Structure 1
Amino acid sequence: MAIFFFDQSDFLGNRIMSALHMIENRPGNYKILPGGAAYCSGIIPDEGFEVVRVQLQSWLPLEEAYRFIEAHLERIGRPAQAFCGIEMRVPAPLTFNDWSTFNLPYFEQLRKWELMFGDYSGVCRSNIALALYPPAKTSVCTFSYTVPAVSKGQTFLLSGQADIGANGKPIADGDTSPAAMRQRTRYTIDTVGDTLNKLGFAWKDATQIALFHVHDIPDLWEPALLGAVGTPIRGGVLVYRARPPIAGGEVELEARAIRQELVVATD
């Protein structure tokens, strides 16, 4: 079992971890790089499997989405443990106290699906607070799972990385000046790059990058920021007017490698 050495804290601000190993999710056919109780850092499918990402044509409130995901996996003959990623949209950023309360029913659902490994989540996750047309309640827009691979090539998922430091505090807290926004963005780029490295990948292996921010980020495409990721920029970057889920955060970054992406009706 591979060993990775790193420091990482989840948004609960209650744990700094080091020297963690990849967790085997044998029923779900993927390996997990631990990150915390609310989300893992990333996942890699087992040999002969790949990640499928499903966009919901109409978003579902979180509780309804759980039932939809369970039924979808059952319909395609995959176990609940194959579920490996969830992307949520929240009405507004949460305080740390609200974040703790928000996560309790989520933890309960993961335990039901046998996707909590001790204190660690086995699922990648992002929670985004849209600045334009946010949902009235927390909703799921996308989820991912593993299936037997249909072609060669590696896929992977990472959780979204916000501009929240290992101490649980936002980078450049309270500051949205041009210099602070560059600092926040640089932090997310470096942290995602570090996670890719721990999984055995590099930016060049990503097929999709997404960036979430509201305030302007000067020189965003220059080599000091997004230009540093290299050739994936040729495929473009999905940019959203949105914030991370924790109040005080201003930038979030996602990266993944996907070969199959579906759009599924929910009604």
Structure 2
Amino acid sequence: MSSTILAAGRGFRFVPGVYQYSAGVAAEPGFRIERVRFADPVPMAAGFARIAEVLAAAGVAKTAFCACEMRSPAPFTEQGFADFNKIYGAVLTEWGIFVDGHNPVARSNVCPEISPPGEPGFHAFSFVVPAADAPPSFVVAGSGESQEGKGNYRDNTVALGDLSPAGLLRKGQFVLGEMERRMAALGFGWADTTAVQAYTVHDLHPFLASEIVARGAARHGLTWQFCRPPVQDLEYEMDCRGVLTERVLPRT
């Protein structure tokens, strides 16, 4: 995993990833990450507008936006995902988010299997605020069972098409390992997490105890969201965070 990059003047550092997201972010000393969840997913354009309102109310610039969790109607094709990311990335460019060509914003984007949203939108987001003597905080981006930055997902997917218990185990082991690599790059581990989320429509119980619990990933429980990863042929995704300040915005 690549070393971290400081987002100068923003109060956080990040692990460089791919165009659409960084692998994770961590607050610098004197700052903390706060997470805000919407009561219901908000379509992307309206979601960006509401995020901007929250940042302004907190007295921070748009460049304090450091992580988000998105929901989409169904898994994208490879090309559809690339097209979506260009639209998303254009807003980040407009906000002045990119750092020397790198996207610092950690992101998860998954697809609810039941009652999906009608269009891609935001489920939650995180941002950085000044906070003297704040304890460390971080957000690790979602990862499915594919090596990113290799040109496409399908050709680099672990146990492609294998939904057997053995295949799902391999997928789970890869994703858990990726979570650990990303946290390690930021200087953290499972003991530092406050929340861990798994996204799959398949049965993870065969490896829940032997892998997820045994590694320490469920020390505060595990949030299993009945969602698919954002790209077709991916079956299992996780993300995690160590964030002490969280709140929910009411429906409007």
Q: Does the TM-score normalized on the shorter chain lie above 0.5? A: yes
- Whether the 8 Å contact between 1:27 and 1:82 is mirrored in structure 2 is no
Structure 2 partner of 1:176: 163
Distance in 2 (alpha carbons) for counterparts of 1:264 and 1:56: 5
TM-score, with length taken from structure 1: 0.88
From 80, 104, 112, give the equivalent of 2:86: 104
TM-score, with length taken from structure 2: 0.93
From 234, 238, 246, give the equivalent of 2:223: 238
From 23, 33, 39, give the equivalent of 1:51: 33
Paired AA for residue 160 in structure 1? G
Structure 2 partner of 1:260: 245
Structure 1 partner of 2:176: 189
Counterparts in 2 of 1:117 and 1:151: CA distance versus 1, 3 Å: closer
Q: In terms of mean alpha carbon deviation, does 154-163 or 213-222 score higher?
A: 213-222
Distance in 2 (alpha carbons) for counterparts of 1:56 and 1:218: 29
Distance in 1 (alpha carbons) for counterparts of 2:227 and 2:66: 23
Distance in 1 (alpha carbons) for counterparts of 2:136 and 2:99: 24
- Whether the 8 Å contact between 2:31 and 2:134 is mirrored in structure 1 is no
Q: Deviations over 1:216-253 (max 9, x none)?
A: 13422223x102322x5231000011111010000001
How many residue pairs end up in the alignment? 247
Structure 2 partner of 1:12: none
Paired AA for residue 215 in structure 1? H
**Cα distance, 1:59 vs. partner?**
2.1
Q: In terms of mean alpha carbon deviation, does 162-171 or 131-140 score higher?
A: 162-171
* Pairing 1:148-159 to 2, within 5 Å after superposition: 148-149=130-131, 152-159=134-141
* Pairing 1:45-194 to 2, within 5 Å after superposition: 45-149=27-131, 152-166=134-148, 167=150, 168=153, 169-194=156-181
Q: Deviations over 1:19-71 (max 9, x none)?
A: x4422222321111101110001111111111100011232100111111111
Structure 2 partner of 1:15: none
From 167, 187, 203, give the equivalent of 1:200: 187
| Helix, strand or coil at the partner of 1:235 | coil
Q: What's the RMSD between the two structures over aligned residues?
A: 1.5
- Whether the 8 Å contact between 1:25 and 1:81 is mirrored in structure 2 is no
Distance in 1 (alpha carbons) for counterparts of 2:34 and 2:101: 26
Structure 2 partner of 1:29: 11
- Whether the 8 Å contact between 2:183 and 2:189 is mirrored in structure 1 is yes
| Helix, strand or coil at the partner of 1:39 | coil
Counterparts in 2 of 1:184 and 1:76: CA distance versus 1, 3 Å: same
Structure 2 partner of 1:13: none
Distance in 1 (alpha carbons) for counterparts of 2:228 and 2:237: 7
The answer for unaligned runs of 5 or more in structure 2 is none
**Cα distance, 1:176 vs. partner?**
0.8
- Whether the 8 Å contact between 1:86 and 1:144 is mirrored in structure 2 is yes
Distance in 2 (alpha carbons) for counterparts of 1:234 and 1:110: 34
From 197, 202, 206, give the equivalent of 1:215: 202
Distance in 1 (alpha carbons) for counterparts of 2:71 and 2:125: 12
The answer for unaligned runs of 5 or more in structure 1 is 1-5, 7-19
Structure 2 partner of 1:229: 215
Paired AA for residue 212 in structure 2? L
Identify which of structures 1 and 2 has the higher relative contact order when contacts are C-alpha pairs closer than 8 Å and 6+ apart: 2
Counterparts in 2 of 1:23 and 1:266: CA distance versus 1, 3 Å: farther
